[in-house]
Amino acid sequence: MSLNSSSALTPIFLVGATATGKSDLGLALARRTDGAILAMDAMQVYRGANIGTGKPSAAERAEIPHGGLDLSDFGLSFDVAQYRKHAAEFLREQAAANRRVIVVGGTGLYFRALTRGLCDAPQGPDELRAELAKLTPEQLRERLKRADPAMLERLDASNPRRLARAIEVVETTGRSLREWQEKTPEPLVPHFTAFWIQREKEELEKRIEARVERMFASGWVEEVMELRRRHSLEAVRRFSGIGYREIGESLIMRAEGDYRVPPWLKRDIFVATRQYAKRQLTWFNREPNLRRVMLHGAELPSLDAPYLS
């Protein structure tokens, strides 16, 4: 099912790298248009992972309808097909309420699934998925190079989830993920306006550093320790959200309740976040039909008509 301009106000996408200010801009736009927000973040779908994924506050969620959040228990698998199903229902609900949906996030695969359509490649057996989950990125790259070398050149080779998915598809079906992607059905959101929110490199790095500091000050370590207690250290290690594994492992030998942060930890998380932001920039640089918006300081552009018509 797709949503077109005759059945709903045209959705607006605010995409880009982490820490650019997408969320603040999305909230401002939703307030001004009496709209709703659909989070487009593959880590915000997990319950309990709040601070380190940058989820909206409880007050913001009470003020403005939000979708795309808390869709899965921590430690379980959640894929793009499940996200698309949830997004379709959320978009239908907001269309019935005559609300414009502001889609905010930096997960490029989710953006592509919504605006270009979702590949119908089936999941592999649980045993294979469990086997692949135990492999390092280097091992995954070598395995995909043997099974489907052309696909290795098409995806983010530093992302273990993407590598594992490509291996899973080719080993299960005998066909490259690329073949499945080329037969993708129609997109869920064929009509939309998308803004690529950007910052100058130096300013973005300062914002990433401030973001990491703010997360620690807000209780991120305590959040990770609670996830360890409820779901196990192994579940924290497997979680792809930046910083969770690093925090969980760095506190293995500390006494219960002793949450002192090693001096190198914040720096490592900052570097990992900066590297992730670069990958996001690379992804969205390949996406067509994005209107570039360069932000400076605390400014929030209005994005007025004709974009809201």
Same domain assignment for residues 23 and 158: no
Q: How many structural domains comprise the chain?
A: 3
Same domain assignment for residues 192 and 227: no
Candidate from 15-19, 60-64, 247-251 with smallest mean pLDDT: 247-251
Reply yes or no: is the peptide bond before residue 187 cis, omega within 30 of 0. no
Same domain assignment for residues 103 and 213: no
Same domain assignment for residues 171 and 35: no
Check: CB of residue 306 under 8 Å from CB of residue 32: no
Report d(CA 305, CA 59) in Å as an integer. Answer: 28
Check: CB of residue 33 under 8 Å from CB of residue 308: yes
168-198 pLDDT, tens digit each: 999 999 999 888 877 777 789 999 999 999 9
Write down the pLDDT at residue 6. Answer: 35
Same domain assignment for residues 210 and 269: yes
Same domain assignment for residues 177 and 191: no
Parallel, antiparallel or unpaired: strands 101-105 and 193-198: unpaired
Write down the pLDDT at residue 308. Answer: 45
Write down the pLDDT at residue 183. Answer: 75
251-275 mean pLDDT: 78
62-99 pLDDT, tens digit each: 999 999 999 999 989 898 889 999 999 999 999 999 99
Would residue 59 count as lying in a domain? Answer: yes
187-210 mean pLDDT: 95
Same domain assignment for residues 92 and 190: yes
196-212 mean pLDDT: 96
Same domain assignment for residues 114 and 41: yes
Report d(CA 154, CA 138) in Å as an integer. Answer: 16
Same domain assignment for residues 28 and 50: yes
Higher pLDDT, 1 or 75: 75
Write down the pLDDT at residue 179. Answer: 86
Check: CB of residue 121 under 8 Å from CB of residue 180: yes
For residue 209, give its domain range. 203-276
Same domain assignment for residues 81 and 191: yes
